[in-house]
Structure 1
Amino acid sequence: MGEPTIGGFCDDRFDTVRRVFEQNVSSGEELGASLVIDIEGQTCVDIWGGFRDQARSTPWTEDTVVNVWSSTKSILALAALMLVDAGELNLDAPVARYWPEFAANGKSNIEVRHILSHTSGVSGWEQPFVLEDMYDWDKSTTLLAQQAPWWPAGSAAGYHANNQGHLIGEIIRRITGQCFKEFVTASIAGPLGADFQIGARDDDWGRIAEIIAPPPFDIDLAALDPDSVMVKTMAGPVADANAANSPGWRHADMGAHNGHGNARSLARILSTIALGGESNGVRLLDSKSIDRIFEEQNNDVDLVLGVPFRRGIGYALPRLDTMPSIPDGRICFWGGWGGSMTVMDLDRRMTFTYMMNKMGPGIIGSTRSEQYLRATYDAISEAVTV
């Protein structure tokens, strides 16, 4: 077992961010992780360190990738907005315009924006449904098309934790003829030269960091109403962090949670939003499509997560009582189970990304991501006042 090392580059302005990162890696609070801060298209921080595996035998290196959980949804929303940009997708149209079977069982009035903002009423699969069923695209999407919504579309938000990638992915497939992982490779990661993919090719498995499961949820689902949206979503299917290390997970196409990349690849892709639609000389969006992100769809307690979120289209928007480390402004964000985080700050033309393999408690963000974000915004504030 070797000592953890830190690699990469950090601008002096963000030395505090690096110090906090180093401290967490040295103490074992982090096992392995990467963190990037991009401002105005320039990389200010690109650091990585620690280990890929729980045995601490393999260092986390520059090309290490990891399952990024629901940070994948940030790419999913971008893909949908790209089709809006191309005139192929209308956010205010019924999902059934693109996927006719979806209209079954009272879902004809569910619009595309409802799925992107987690307000559709279809936040999980009806039972019986197990985790491995998500790997079967035809089965999982057919079941979603057949079931009834759990609340009226647009009336509330409930996190589409596991199925948003299947819902939006099927719309993308109906429009383009490509499955979601093909669309990401051909239209996003490929053009941008970003080391990101949905699932993971077999020849990349040797550089994937092992996922370390978080502590158990502090919610006793057995004590809750089995007909509640929270229970039905979390039971449809029941999550298992260790599944991310399995071949079935890596081969699947799940735009909600099985993207594989690192902080650098996520920043390269998502800086497109912070920079007005163009990153590394490649334009993916125009300003009107980016504006749609900031159309508030819901600002209330999430029926699944049990905490308040302010939701735009595809991303969360600042709400200080939920994410105090993210200031108010023209900022959108989302994160992943265990702590991964993506923040696109259009006011500062900044993109922040953090990916790790040792999962902390919580669904969105963690104590560590809060630390890094606070240090980042403190550094920016100090630079402005100097």
Structure 2
Amino acid sequence: MSGTVAGSCDPKFAALREEFERNFAERGEVGASVCLSVDGETLVDLWGGVADPETGEAWEENTTSIVFSCTKAAVALCAHILIDRGELELHRPVADYWPGFAQKGKEATTVQMMLNHQSAVPALREPVKPGGFLDWDYMIERMEQEEAWFEPGVTAGYHMINFGWTVGELVHRVSGKKLGQFFCDEVADPLGADFWIGIPEDFDHPIAPIQMYQPTGSETPIPFTINLMTQPDSLQSLSFLNTGGWGPNDADGHRAEIGGGGGISNARGQVAMYTPLANGGSHNGVTLVGADRLAAMERCSVATGVDATLLSRTRFASGFMKSMDNRAYPGGDQTSAIIGDRAFGHVGAGGSIGFADPECNLAFSYTMNQMGLGIMLNERCQSLIDRAYEILGYRSNVSGAWVR
């Protein structure tokens, strides 16, 4: 597969560019982008490979792809903007904003619990109707009617796609705007970020089709995958497969507001969103949140020994992922994402990521069209993150996060 890499790279980050090129030469990369800024200045903006293997179309400067759960960070940011304005209160009951949600064991759910993946609706037991993910009102009714899988707030269970409707409906009800429109008006447009939760009719960027991971047979089975494949009524299987037929390459899905995993962007688009968050909450005259809210956004708000959905150790910061180190466990290479201790962001299925690290004023993102092994990061992305931190003078990630 062609590994032609284009774009710009500050000489200081030459080792990161070399690592990006290695992904194409040695690690099965098909098409991808990587971007980072430090102190608000974009120092790496690279892309390369093939966007569509069927046509041979190259991955160009403005090529995008679905970024799966990286979208959750955009949804969480919308909620934090409203919290910062005093329009949404973190510790109030969800029922104060969304009365219909407070039933069937979910009555005690707070806004904080919803951001923490603790609102107890990580999956839907009954089948989603064909095309259900494209119907916002239908999915909101399903969230309301679903019986809690566990007592809200007692544990966390990753809301794989449902996070987009739980937190997204809070954004909708409080702001009066649809989720995608609020994100566009308050984040993407002011920052000039190529990032959409539901693409518009006049969308003119190429979208690289996602290439699914093909198992080799040598993978270490992890509990999540075992349950997914062997127990059709399990939380793992239902959260991943009960989608009403939604697929990442469906044009209708690209137009829908699927905040849990349907965002369209690239590395540059995500870095544009994270750059203010890496620099005190503001950049180029655009303020997303104030200093106190930003400080809260980076703080770990829930950590699990075993996440009820992912069946691995997880750490979240009110809707954002923190560094997750499961390397000591069997299959830990499939359930880890090692970033800075103060960093917060989100991975996407197959190995994409976007995050901000306020400690070193770093905003970083990597996106791709060839999915990799695991439910967190794989070697292609983690190696790029590692080079970035090493170049910035960080010493080690043995502790579970990159430290100076």
TM-score (norm 1): 0.92
For 1:202 and 1:251, locate their aligned partners in 2 and report how far apart those are by CA, in whole Å.
Answer: 8
Aligned pair partner of 1:230 in 214, 236, 241: 236
In the alignment, the residues of structure 2 paired with residue 149 and residue 131 of structure 1 have an alpha-carbon distance, to the nearest angstrom, of 23
Residue deviations 1:173-221 (CA, integer Å, cap 9, x gap): 1111111111111111111111111122344366111111123695233
> Is residue 75–residue 270 contact of structure 1 (8 Å, CA) maintained in 2?
no
**Which letter does structure 2 place at the counterpart of 1:214?**
Y
SS of the residue aligned with 1:143? helix
Which residue of the partner structure matches residue 355 of structure 2?
343
Deviations 1:58-99 (A, max 9, x none): 111111111111001111111110000111101111111111
In 2, distance between residues paired with 1:225 and 1:22? 40
What is the CA–CA distance in structure 2 between the aligned matches of 1:222 and 1:319, rounded to whole Å? 21
Paired residues for 1:181-192 under 5 Å: 181-192=180-191
Q: Distance in 1 between matches of 2:344 and 2:370?
A: 25
Give the secondary structure class of the aligned counterpart of 1:220.
helix
Which letter maps to 1:338? Answer: G
Gap change, CA 1:223 and 1:269, over 3 Å in 2: closer
Q: Determine if contact 2:323/2:338 at 8 Å carries over to the other structure.
A: yes
Aligned residue for 1:16? Answer: 15
Task: Using the TM superposition, name which of 272-281 and 352-361 deviates more.
Answer: 272-281
Q: Deviations over 1:38-65 (max 9, x none)?
A: 1110111110111110236111111111
Moved more, 320-329 or 105-114: 320-329
2:303 aligned with 1:298, yes or no? yes
1:252 to 253, 256, 281: 256
Tell me how far apart the structure 2 counterparts of residues 170 and 27 of structure 1 sit (CA, whole Å).
43
**Residues 1:29 and 1:312: Cα distance change in structure 2 (over 3 Å):** same
1:284 match: 288
Amino acid across the alignment from 1:196: F
The 1-side partners of 2:40 and 2:325 are apart by 27
Which shifted more, 56-65 or 349-358?
56-65
Aligned-pair CA distance for 1:375: 1.3
Task: Decide whether aligned partners of structure 1 residues 23 and 350 sit closer, same or farther in structure 2, where only a CA change above 3 A counts.
Answer: same
Distance in 2 between residues matched to 1:222 and 1:90, nearest whole Å: 36
Alignment of 1:155-194 (within 5 A): 155-194=154-193
The answer to whether the aligner puts 1:379 opposite 2:391 as a matched pair is: yes
TM superposition shift of 1:317? 2.0
Could you tell me which amino acid in structure 1 is paired with residue 69 of structure 2?
A: S
1:309 aligns with 314
Q: Following the alignment from structure 1 to structure 2, what is the Cα–Cα distance between the partners of residues 131 and 14?
A: 47
Letter in 1 for 2:370: K
What amino acid is the match of 1:372?
L
Aligned CA RMSD, in angstroms, stands at 2.4
| 1:157/1:300 contact within 8 Å kept | no
The residue matched to 2:58 in structure 1 has which SS?
coil
Q: TM-score, normalised by structure 2?
A: 0.88
Deviation at 1:324, TM superposition (A): 6.5
Deviation larger for 210-219 or 87-96: 210-219
Aligned to 1:105: 104
Name whichever structure is richer in helix by fraction: 1
User: Quick check: 1:152 aligned with 2:144?
Assistant: no
Q: Does 1:363 align with 2:375?
A: yes
Deviations 1:333-377 (A, max 9, x none): 310000111121111111110011111122222221111111111
* Aligned equivalents of 1:332, 1:194: Cα separation in 2: 19
Identify which of 343, 350, 353 aligns with 2:365: 353
* Contact kept in structure 2, 1:318 and 1:327, CA below 8 Å: yes
Counterpart of 1:344, as a letter, is: A
Between the aligned partners of 2:101 and 2:336, the Cα distance in structure 1 is: 38
Name the amino acid aligned to 2:309. Answer: V
What per-residue deviation string (whole Å, max 9, x for no partner) do you get for residues 269-315 of structure 1? 11221111112320010011112221422232211112101222111
Distance 1:311 1:135 in 2: 27
Q: Distance in 1 between matches of 2:122 and 2:303?
A: 15
Percent identity of paired positions between Structure 1 and Structure 2: 32
Q: Distance in 1 between matches of 2:378 and 2:86?
A: 37
Contact between 1:298 and 1:311, CA under 8 Å: does it hold in 2?
Answer: yes
CA 1:337–1:222 in structure 2 vs 1: closer, same or farther (change >3 Å)?
closer
Q: Distance in 2 between matches of 1:73 and 1:131?
A: 23
CA distance in 1, matches of 2:229, 2:250: 31
Partner of 1:270: 274
The amino acid that maps onto 1:349 is N
* Aligned mates of 1:205, 1:158 — CA distance in 2: 37
Aligned length: 381
Please give the alpha-carbon distance, in whole angstroms, between the structure 2 residues aligned to 1:291 and 1:142: 34
CA distance change for structure 1 residues 236 and 61 in 2, over 3 Å: closer, same or farther? same
1:331 maps to 343
1:38 corresponding residue in structure 2: 37
Cα displacement (A) at 1:3: 4.2
Long gaps (5+) in structure 1: none
